[in-house]
Structure 1
Amino acid sequence: MPVSLNPRRPAPAEGTLWLTGGHVVDVVGGTIRRNVDVAVTEGTITSIGAGPPPPGSQVLDLGGRYLLPGLISVHTHLSVVYPFSATDEAENPGLTAMRALSRAQDALYAGVTTLRCVHEQHRADLLVRTAAEQGWVDAPRIVGAGRAVSTTGGHGHGSACSYADGHDGFLRAAREELAAGADLVKIFITGGIAHQGESFTGAQMTPDEMRAVVRAAEEHGSYVTAHAGSGAAIREALAAGVRGYEHAYDLDDATAKEMAARRVFLTPTLCVTRCPEWMREHDFTEWQIERAMEVGPGHLASIRRAVAAGIADPADPEAPGITMLAGTDYPPGEPIEDTVVAVREMEFLTDAGLSPAQALRAGTSDAARLVGLAGRAGAVEEGLLADLVVTDRDPLSDLSALRRIRFVMQGGRVVRSDLPAVPDTIGGNA
């Protein structure tokens, strides 16, 4: 295989690489295909079968381990600083981009092969995306919102957002982010739990402002996702056409049922109300930690109500249901409790009532539908991108198997391998 002098930016394999002796996790069907060989050619999965690979093939023996799609985290802030009060809105954009790139590479190394960013200072997500697409850096595949759009003095105040007021102001701000290359638009329809004196129960945007952002997104064939705390503002956003919701700290049954009826996407980010030690290690104030823990039980109960309202079945697009997704708010490759934040969030989803199979879909195939990669990534299937990870144990039986990811491949490039070394080739041409 070609040699790279930079271990964080490996060269792709030439020809076909066979991943042999493993079990393929079907995240869509919730089943395991045992003892199959998977061929990867030019970044794509080209064959899944019982082998054996032809003589002279490049092989990697999985040794009875489990092969599944790379993880997709759909609520990410790569440029964030802690504490939030340390944010410098006049920071040099180059420094912002470097910080974002470092977080992105941490995520990729941990097994997160695709990220959706939902606000970055100086549109750092779009900068990293361009650098990766042009081959200058190694990073996850990035779907980015550029800068989120906040009302003046709203939840995004002081976070280097785009600020707007009124229908025309929000229409202009949303169009500016989309024109800059954003894949979606992020807004704040309520307050949150990060700042003293704010509440997540009242709306911070008018229905007219919400409709303006939805209009701008639809002009570009895109969609809007909303930082959303509680039911009343979410119902207004549903009526305005907002498709995605983040956090949902306090959902009532009626709102959850309406969300299911409209088949929206919900990213709970349970990490933000369940990780006091991580917050303390990252310089959150004691007030913020206390507030997060105070909101935590209600947040979990809220997401359980969303699960009870019904989980969307991608095979039945007419049936009501919420598509539950894995997103962290915190940088997803950060260490936490003997794992990384992206995996811990998926474990928290099982606490909210998802089965291990549903939580796995939330961070793979269902997330791929949200970020526009349905039919291209999010599963181990022939013809899809070779974004792959390997675990020792079956994650469908026990999601904690994701705590020990042994191998990461993105687009056919081996990003990381902790597997035992094996010969590069087999058969007569070795």
Structure 2
Amino acid sequence: MCVESIPPPSSRLTRRGVLAGAAALAGTTAVLAASAPQAGAAAREGRQTGGDLVIEGGTLLDPATGEVTEDAVVVIVDGVVRSAGRRGRTEVPDGAEVIDAHGQWILPGLVEGHIHLNTAAEARDAVLLGATSARSGSTNFFQDIAVRELARQAPEQAPRLRAAGVFVTPDLGDTILADPELTPLARLRDGVRSPEALRRVVEVNLARGADVIKTRVNERAGLPEQDPLAQVYDREQLSAVVAAARRGGKGVLCHSYSEKGCHDAVMAGIRSLEHGAFVGERTLHEMRRRGTYFTPTLTAIAGLADSPDPVLAERGRQYLPVLKRAVLAAHEMGVPLAAGTDSSGGKIKPIGREVELMREAGLSALDAIRTATTGAAKLLGLERTAGSLARGFAGDVILLDGDPLSDVTVLKKPLRVVRSGIAL
């Protein structure tokens, strides 16, 4: 059976109900109800709320250039950077709230390239750990779309988010209940594998407002009963996903491990390769040629080594050094890298840990920082919004107790986070 004869998913008939359910599951409705009145006003006007703030006296690092400015001042007005530079050269508005950053380092808020945010509480934790912008790695019931809306109305509660909606995978499991438009797929004996079925899941995501599409080429490393090197989609199937996403103007991120799977995914036209532990030289060269991003999620792979399950622990010990070598090879070839922790299940890991592991893989401190600022921002299409504190960029800031160019581990525990000009 195929789903070719079923009409395209409706963007009107069920979207409001589907997303209302997602918001209830994510807990964002309750958070917005308790938020300041201006959040509701901003939503009605179609704009994002933001605060006015001055940060002065710290050492400012520009990840784009590597320039370090001592005794710096950053001025944020209505959530946007108005100016940033050395004291005396930067005008400070009268009456603005001031944060004294003497003895601290000032960096733009970090960009998390792969995270699963299912609840408002997880979103808040991610922000407090320094991730002021992020890209979702999918959720089961469109919760990430609800979190994205929370971030727009109450930015202090969630990272600026690129939502992926539901996973394009052979077995949707309970996700089949996420949307009435997905239920016809429950009758497919072989799961979501035909071009028509693959297209349907992508189209439903697009109709519900997904910013990106998430699919896979290999099984999971985090489940002991699965073989991460086993391929679940071939290049033709992946090409069907990419084509459907492109018709909606969206890119695809692809869960991957084996070299053949990585190569098939890249040749199919994905935007970014996720995990990719065994990606090979030929595939990296193709990624460089195409501008395909590599999001290795070193944090997630390193975490496997601490698992009480012996199969997972052994995978972590085996995969991490291989992945680190792949990251360094990719960097040396000029493949663009993005930091992502792959946090999920309510346990949010600091994006600074991913930067630490990038440094351990052999990147310089500045290049490791760029994977969670300018590099990841470009992947998310936020290169004019996030990753820098230049004029016109978002007023997202982290304050650090130490020089990250000497010790990137300070990124794991920001002293203070500012989201859209609102100090947390």
TM-score range for the pair, normalised by the shorter chain length: 0.7 to 0.9
Give the match's secondary structure for 2:270: coil
| Residue 272 (structure 1) aligns with | 300
Cα deviations across residues 118-170 of structure 1 (Å, max 9, x unaligned)? Answer: 11111111122223434498211111101111124xxx767879751111111
When structure 1 is superposed on structure 2, of 245-254 and 201-210 the one drifting more is 201-210
| 1:328 is the counterpart of 2:341 | yes
The corresponding residue for 1:37 is 73
Distance change in 2, residues 1:42/1:291 (3 Å): same
User: What aligned pairs does 1:93-172 form with structure 2 within 5 A after superposition?
Assistant: 100-135=119-154, 138-152=157-171, 164-172=192-200
> In the alignment, what sits opposite 1:183?
211
> In structure 2, do the counterparts of structure 1 residues 115 and 56 end up closer, same or farther at CA, with 3 Å as the change threshold?
closer
1:351 aligns with 2:360: yes
TM-score (normalizing by structure 1): 0.78
Q: Which moved more, 1:340-349 or 1:50-59?
A: 50-59
| Residues 242/64 of structure 1: CA separation in 2 closer, same or farther (3 Å cut) | same
Is the 2:50–2:80 contact (alpha carbons within 8 Å) kept by the matching residues of 1? no
Report which stretch shifted further, 233-242 or 298-307.
298-307
Moved more, 22-31 or 125-134: 125-134
Contact kept? 1:307, 1:353, Cα under 8 Å:
no
Tell me the secondary structure at the aligned position of residue 363 of structure 1. coil
> Which TM-score applies when normalising by structure 2?
0.79
Ranges in structure 2 where 5+ consecutive residues have no aligned partner: 1-31, 39-48, 183-190
Contact 2:304–2:312, Cα closer than 8 Å, also in 1: no
- Change in Cα spacing, 1:332 to 1:115, as seen in structure 2 (3 Å) is farther
Tell me, in whole angstroms, the C-alpha distance in 1 between the residues paired with 2:73 and 2:374: 21
- State how many pairs are aligned: 368
* d(CA) in 1 for partners of 2:346, 2:129: 6
Mapped partners of 2:305, 2:217: distance in 1: 29
Cα distance between partner residues in 2 of 1:39 and 1:22: 13
Determine the C-alpha separation between the residues in 2 that align with 1:375 and 1:301.
31
Q: Does the C-alpha gap of structure 1 residues 56 and 171 become closer, same or farther in structure 2, counting only changes over 3 Å?
A: closer
Three-state SS of the structure 2 residue aligned to 1:28 is coil
Corresponding position of 1:361: 370
> Would you say the 8 A contact 1:107–1:333 is kept in 2?
no
Q: Give the aligned partner of residue 19 of structure 1.
A: 55
CA contact (8 A) 1:202 1:232 kept: no
The reply on whether 1:61 has 2:100 as its aligned counterpart is yes
Task: Identify, as 1 or 2, the structure richer in strand.
Answer: 1
2:297 maps to a residue whose letter is: T
Q: Does 1:301 align with 2:332?
A: no
Deviation at 1:197, TM superposition (A): 4.6
Secondary structure class of the residue paired with 2:253: strand
Structure 1 unaligned blocks of 5 or more: 1-5, 80-99, 311-320, 416-430
- Kindly tell me: are residues 10 and 396 of structure 1, through their superposed partners in 2, closer, same or farther at Cα, counting changes over 3 Å? farther
CA displacement, residues 218-266 of structure 1 (integer Å, 9 cap, x when unaligned): 1121101100112212222222211211001112222222222222111
Residue 287 (structure 1) aligns with: 311
Aligned to 2:259: 231
Residue in 1 that maps onto 2:234 = 206
Distance 1:245 1:407, change over 3 A: same
Q: Using the alignment, how far apart are the partners of 1:56 and 1:329 within structure 2?
A: 41
Verify the 8 A CA contact 1:107 1:332 in the aligned structure 2: no
User: Is the 8 Å Cα contact of residues 30 and 357 (structure 1) preserved in structure 2?
Assistant: yes
The 2-side partners of 1:210 and 1:277 are apart by 30
Q: 1:25 touches 1:67 (CA, 8 Å); kept in 2? A: yes
1:75 to 114, 118, 124: 114
Structure 1 residue 360 displacement after superposition: 0.7
Q: RMSD between aligned alpha carbons?
A: 2.9
Between the aligned partners of 1:380 and 1:136, the Cα distance in structure 2 is 17
Q: What SS is found at the alignment partner of 1:121?
A: coil
> Contact 1:251/1:305 (CA < 8 Å) preserved in 2?
no
Identity among equivalent pairs (%): 29
1:290-345 per-position Cα deviation (integer Å, ceiling 9, x unaligned): 3322333323233233233x2xxxxxxxxxx211111011249957xxxx432111
CA distance in 2, matches of 1:136, 1:44: 12
